[in-house]
Amino acid sequence: MKRTKKRDAPRKSDGPARVRPATLKQVAADAGVHPSTVSRVLNPGTRGMIADDVALRVQASAKKLGYRPDSVAVSLRTGRSRLVGVLLPDIANLVFPPILSGVTDVLHRSGYSTIIAEVEADRDSQLQLIEQLIMRRVDGLVLATASRNDPVVTYCIERHLPVVLVNRTEAQARVSAVVSDDRKAMQLVMDHLVSLGHRRIGHLAGPATLSTGFSRRQGFELSARAHKLTAKEVAVETTVAYAREEGVSATRRLLDRHPDLTAIAAANDLLALGAYEALRERGFKCPQDVSVVGHNDMPLVDIMSPPLTTVRIAHREMGSEAAQLLVTEMTGLASPKRHVVLAPSLVVRGSTAAPPTRRKH
């Protein structure tokens, strides 16, 4: 009897066959162009080199075939990741979203993706994060976290990593930065308060380690002297952080030392919110008893009670300018370090008025 050989049953497929991704050469063949043309069209930095009709044809072919550039391969070939790190000190602070929006808009249009991180105040933690970003081959950094003498900036310079500072800057201009004119801002505040008749004015200063705190205090003191206010008529309390709680405690100290103050100029809006709270604790009304001015024009300060008079900063423009400076540095174009200073403006609302003629202490 002839024995038949048992055949193995055909294996069942685990699922549909994996479709290989389209290649750059396939896109080029479909569009009828050279592969180098496809590469230029799909790179935002070189797209302008190709005629519009050819670029549209290449883009249509890439979309039809489902082509996706291999970012790892591109990075290995070019030595660039097209990734940029953006470091923020407090992502929940409403000042930073418009800065971030300006940064990401310019970077994305220039073909860069962003890694956004909130960093702790501890410098060792910041340096660890920077090292991790360098390991991920970021092409550059936008830092909204700089102190006036910042070891993080030193670390990046030593590693030849392009860096641009935004909103805050260093005491010495080692890298490009985009900031608001903090001294001019405090001059606007003081001119407004003095024009209303205020002579006894307190300042809630930001941290002296930050350029914003340092420069705004300088602006306050320079303007006080320009208006011939005496040392007895002005007072300063320095805070350790831009936080509402710091504004509360600093305002309490101001009122303990100078109960006759009729106006408070805060170094930012969160400190001004703290001033509101401390004034209510002491039974003072704003602006009938004490006027308050903030700094930054954060969202929603116009619907507070009373609406806050504050300095408006061009936050989105600040972010856009910083990103453009960084793109210039990352593309290797030779240019000197730039320090861009944007002009602020004063928005007058309901938290400022003429000083009271009499006050009970």
Give the model confidence (pLDDT) of 82-135 as tens digits. 899 999 998 888 889 999 999 999 999 998 999 999 887 778 888 888 888 888
What are the strands, taking DSSP E only, across the chain? 83-88, 113-118, 140-143, 163-166, 176-180, 201-205, 234-238, 263-266, 291-296, 309-312, 339-342, 345-347
High-pLDDT (> 70) share of the chain, %: 88
pLDDT at 20 over 70: no
Q: Give the list of residues 6+ apart from residue 131 with CB closer than 8 angstroms, or none.
A: none
- Give the residue-averaged pLDDT of 249-255: 97
Question: Is there a shared CATH topology between the 24-69 domain and the 182-313 domain?
Answer: no
Q: Which CATH class is domain 24-69?
A: mainly alpha
The Cα 294–Cα 267 span in angstroms is 6
- Going by C-alpha positions, the residue among 320, 311, 325, 317 that lies closest to residue 342 is 317
**Phi, psi at residue 120, to the nearest 5°?**
-80, 160
User: Average pLDDT in the 137-160 region?
Assistant: 92
Residue with the larger pLDDT of the pair 308 and 64: 308
Region 182-313: CATH code:
3.40.50.2300
Please tell me the distance from the alpha carbon of residue 30 to that of residue 165, in angstroms, as a whole number: 44
Question: Is the separation of the CB atoms in 313 and 342 below 8 Å?
Answer: yes
- Residue 175's alpha-carbon distances to 16, 43, 98, 170, 216, in angstroms, are 54, 28, 22, 9, 21
| Domain residue spans of the chain | 24-69, 79-180+315-344, 182-313
- pLDDT computed for residue 1 by the predictor: 46
Q: Does domain 79-180+315-344 have CATH number 3.40.50.2300?
A: yes
SS3 per-residue string spanning 258-280 = CCCCCEEEECCHHHHHHHHHHHH
Q: What is the pLDDT of residue 40?
A: 80
Shortest CA distance to 174 belongs to which of 338, 323, 342?
338
DSSP 39: H
Q: What is the mean pLDDT of residues 43-64?
A: 82
